[in-house]
């Protein structure tokens, strides 16, 4: 949240509206009196803000039987059905799009192969895919309130400027503004792994805690750190590069130029490469002859007891565990969430991770630390929707809707 300018009347207005909306969203149905109590706003302010929210259709009144009997109390709850958003996950060679209502219900989705080698192709293709998706689902869309895009790379989430992508050259890609101008709707752009950590916090495995770390193992390895219910970004907005923690000084060369980074072992391509090499050397395995190999198949065979597949995954779990132990010592999280196809072999991966976390982090930090599989992994666009949800809860998008 861009803040710190207390005294700015508009910001105070935005924060107060957000506080009221947040309470109704998270604790509704809730009465105006309870909202005033919990938010510590003056009852007159609460009345004014709820009137605005009601007029905009963002909340509604519901009659609730008072627990003491007697007359029915009027409570407030959010209205989510008429407000729609498009959430996009941009991969290195694919694009996934979903239509969500404001309650986070996915109403439609699509996935396409999407190859782009240069920035202009990326912009043109992205706009084209979103436009076609909106056209295709126009009958389902009532009010389009926002577009969210997550992508691999470094993004300034406040300005929506993409500063770096791992696979193509980027020259200050002002994607937030481009989307806003093109579709005339609020737009949010962010890093995919950080977005996923936020999605776990709002909708998934880490809903029950304020401090959590998501570790994602896909094409690359990244982490999203949630501290006090917010994505931890730092002032340069670039943290969580767990994939470049060195775990083997004599390891393979990494794309970053260093040697033995976690990414040289704990990514899908690295796992496949290692298994392929072992098979080529003649190791016995039920995987022999299977082509193309993927991590899901390796997990299946490991689950069925194939020793080579098992050992390959144990090695990944061990190295992941070492890197996670470092983050545990640094952040003392309440939960670790693991995303990626490797979680399809839970009885092999999780014990290996746990063993290493236990060996290499402080006992008081890891004693009650659950390490669990992602709950939103199968719905990757949820990470883009999470940014839209955040913008409602912190008031950035909410205020725009109220001013419409």
The answer to whether 95 contacts Zn ion (rule: CB under 5 A) is no
Euclidean distance between CA atoms 399 and 394, whole angstroms: 9
Tell me which stretch binds Zn ion (CB under 5 A): 8-16, 155-163, 201-209, 238-246.
238-246
3 state DSSP class of 108: strand
Which residues, 6 or more positions from 7, have their beta carbon under 8 angstroms from its beta carbon?
none
The answer to whether 266 contacts Zn ion (rule: CB under 5 A) is no
Q: Which is nearer to Zn ion, 194 or 244 (CB)?
A: 244
The answer to whether 155 contacts Zn ion (rule: CB under 5 A) is no
Tell me which stretch binds Zn ion (CB under 5 A): 83-91, 180-188, 201-209, 261-269.
261-269
How far apart are CB 258 and Zn ion at their closest, in Å?
5
Tell me which stretch binds Zn ion (CB under 5 A): 129-137, 141-149, 243-251, 302-310.
243-251
Q: Which is nearer to Zn ion, 183 or 259 (CB)?
A: 259
How far apart are CB 166 and Zn ion at their closest, in Å?
11
The answer to whether 392 contacts Zn ion (rule: CB under 5 A) is no
The answer to whether 254 contacts Zn ion (rule: CB under 5 A) is yes
> Nearest-CA neighbor of 331 among 212, 179, 190, 164?
212
Tell me which stretch binds Zn ion (CB under 5 A): 128-136, 152-160, 247-255, 300-308.
247-255
Q: Which is nearer to Zn ion, 45 or 258 (CB)?
A: 258
The answer to whether 261 contacts Zn ion (rule: CB under 5 A) is yes
Q: Which is nearer to Zn ion, 261 or 388 (CB)?
A: 261
Q: What is the CA radius of gyration of the chain?
A: 23
Q: Which is nearer to Zn ion, 84 or 244 (CB)?
A: 244
The answer to whether 90 contacts Zn ion (rule: CB under 5 A) is no
The answer to whether 244 contacts Zn ion (rule: CB under 5 A) is yes
Are 351 and 317 in contact by the 8 Å Cβ rule? The answer is yes
Dihedral, CA of residue 89, residue 95, residue 97 and residue 103, to nearest 10: -20
> Nearest-CA neighbor of 103 among 380, 388, 378, 374?
388
Q: How many residues bind Zn ion (CB under 5 A)?
A: 5
Helices (H), 28-105: 32-39, 43-55
> Nearest-CA neighbor of 215 among 327, 303, 313?
327
How far apart are CB 255 and Zn ion at their closest, in Å?
6
Euclidean distance between CA atoms 259 and 252, whole angstroms: 6
Euclidean distance between CA atoms 259 and 278, whole angstroms: 21
Give the bridge partners for 259, in sequence order: 253
Euclidean distance between CA atoms 131 and 123, whole angstroms: 12
Binding-site ranges for Zn ion (CB under 5 A): 244, 254, 256, 258, 261
């Amino acid at each position: 949240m861009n803040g710190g300018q207390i005294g700015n009347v508009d910001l105070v207005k935005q924060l107060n509206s957000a506080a009221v909306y947040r309470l109704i969203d998270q604790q509704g149905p809730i009465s105006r009196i309870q909202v005033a109590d919990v938010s510590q706003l003056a009852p007159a302010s609460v009345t004014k803000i709820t009137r605005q929210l009601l007029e905009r259709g963002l909340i509604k009144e519901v009659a609730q039987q008072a627990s003491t009997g007697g007359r029915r109390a009027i409570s407030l709850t959010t209205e989510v059905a008429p407000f729609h958003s498009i959430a996009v996950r941009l991969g290195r060679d694919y694009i996934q799009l979903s239509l969500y209502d404001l309650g986070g219900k996915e109403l439609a989705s699509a996935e396409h192969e999407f190859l782009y080698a240069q920035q202009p192709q990326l912009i043109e293709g992205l706009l084209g895919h979103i436009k076609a998706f909106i056209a295709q689902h126009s009958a389902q869309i009532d009010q389009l309130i926002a577009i969210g895009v997550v992508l691999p790379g470094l993004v300034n989430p406040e300005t929506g400027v993409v500063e770096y992508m791992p696979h193509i050259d980027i020259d200050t890609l002002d994607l937030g503004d481009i989307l806003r101008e093109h579709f005339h709707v609020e737009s949010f752009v962010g890093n995919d792994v950080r977005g996923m950590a936020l999605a776990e916090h709002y909708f998934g495995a880490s809903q029950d805690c304020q401090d959590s770390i998501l570790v994602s193992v896909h094409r690359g390895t990244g982490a999203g750190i949630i501290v006090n219910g917010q994505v931890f970004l730092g002032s340069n907005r670039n943290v969580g590069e767990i994939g470049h923690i060195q775990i083997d000084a004599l390891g393979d060369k990494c794309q970053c130029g260093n040697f033995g980074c976690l990414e040289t072992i704990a990514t899908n391509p690295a796992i496949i490469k290692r298994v392929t090499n072992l098979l080529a050397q003649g190791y016995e395995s039920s995987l022999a002859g299977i082509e193309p190999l993927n991590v899901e198949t390796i997990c299946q065979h490991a689950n069925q007891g194939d020793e080579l597949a098992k050992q390959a995954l144990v090695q990944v779990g061990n190295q992941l565990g070492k890197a996670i132990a470092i983050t545990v010592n640094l952040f003392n999280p309440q939960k670790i969430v693991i995303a990626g196809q490797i979680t399809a072999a839970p009885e092999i991966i999780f014990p290996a991770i746990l063993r290493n976390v236990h060996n290499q982090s402080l006992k008081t930090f890891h004693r009650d630390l659950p390490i669990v599989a992602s709950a939103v992994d199968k719905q990757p666009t949820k990470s883009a929707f999470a940014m839209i949800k955040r913008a409602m809860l912190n008031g950035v998008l909410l205020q725009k809707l109220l001013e419409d």
